[in-house]
Chain A
Amino acid sequence: MPRTLWSGSLSFGLVNVPVALVSAVRDLDLHFRQLRAKDAAPIEVQRWCTEEDREVPYEEVARLFEFDDGGTVIVTDDELEGLAPERTRTIEIDAFVDLADVDPIYFDHPYLLVPAAENDGALRAYRLLLEVMGRTDRAALGRFVMRTKEYRAVVRAREGALSLTTMRMHDEVRSTEGIDTGAKGRAPKAQLDAAISLVEQMTVEWDPTRYEDRYRERLRKVVERKRKGQTIKVPEAAEEPAPVPDLMAALRESLEAARGGGGRKASKDGDGDGDDLEGLTRDELYERAQERDVPGRSSMSKDELKEALS
Chain B
Amino acid sequence: MVPGPAPGRKDEPYAGASAARFPRRRTGTSRAMAPRSIWNGTITLGTIAVPIKVHSATESRTVRFREVHEPDGARIEHRRIGPDGEEVPYDDIVKGYEVREGEFVVLEKEEIAAAAGERSRLIDVEEFVDADAIDPVFFDRTYYLGARDDGDAYRLLHAALRRTGRAGIARWVFHNREYLVAIRPLDGVLALHTMRFHDELVDPGSLDIPAPSRKPTEREIEMAGTLVESLHADFDARTMLTDTHRETVLEYLDAKRHGKARKPEPPKPPEETDDLLAALQASLEAGGKR
CA distance A229 to B95 in the complex (A): 16
Q: A50-B74, A177-B32, A233-B114 are in contact. Are A40 and B51 (CB under 8 A)?
A: no
Q: Which of B20, B25, B62 contacts A68 (CB 8 A)?
A: B25
Contacts of B256 in A (CB 8 A): 73, 75
Contact yes or no, B169 A181, CB < 8 A: no
Q: A95-B233, A161-B204, A176-B189 are in contact. Are A208 and B198 (CB under 8 A)?
A: yes
Contact yes or no, B235 A102, CB < 8 A: yes
Contact yes or no, B105 A226, CB < 8 A: yes
Contacts of B98 in A (CB 8 A): 33
Interface of B is mostly: mixed
Q: A168-B241, A283-B119 are in contact. Are A50 and B186 (CB under 8 A)?
A: no
Q: Which of B168-211 contact A (CB under 8 A)?
A: 169, 171, 177-180, 186-189, 191, 193, 195-205, 207-211
B139-154 interface bits toward A, Cβ cutoff 8 Å, 1 = contact, 0 = none: 1001011111111111
Sorting the interface of chain B by its residue count into under 10, 10 to 19, 20 to 34 or 35 or more gives 35 or more
Instruction: Give min CB distance, B4 to chain A, whole Å.
Output: 8
Contact yes or no, B136 A35, CB < 8 A: no
The answer to the question of B110 belonging to the interface, with a C-beta cut-off of 8 Å to chain A, is yes
Q: A96-B233, A104-B136, A226-B111 are in contact. Are A114 and B207 (CB under 8 A)?
A: yes
CA distance A72 to B146 in the complex (A): 40
The answer to the question of A293 belonging to the interface, with a C-beta cut-off of 8 Å to chain B, is no
Contacts of A160 in B (CB 8 A): 204-205, 209
* Chain B residue with Cβ nearest A183: B150
CA distance A98 to B270 in the complex (A): 28
Contact yes or no, B96 A120, CB < 8 A: no
CA distance A63 to B66 in the complex (A): 6
Contact yes or no, B193 A104, CB < 8 A: yes
Q: A48-B76, A181-B154, A253-B46 are in contact. Are A32 and B245 (CB under 8 A)?
A: no
Closest 6 CB pairs of A and B: A182-B151, A254-B46, A82-B264, A13-B283, A150-B245, A178-B34
Q: List 15 A-B contacts (CB under 8 A).
A: A13-B283, A34-B94, A62-B70, A95-B231, A102-B136, A138-B228, A174-B144, A198-B46, A202-B127, A206-B134, A213-B200, A218-B117, A222-B111, A235-B114, A242-B49
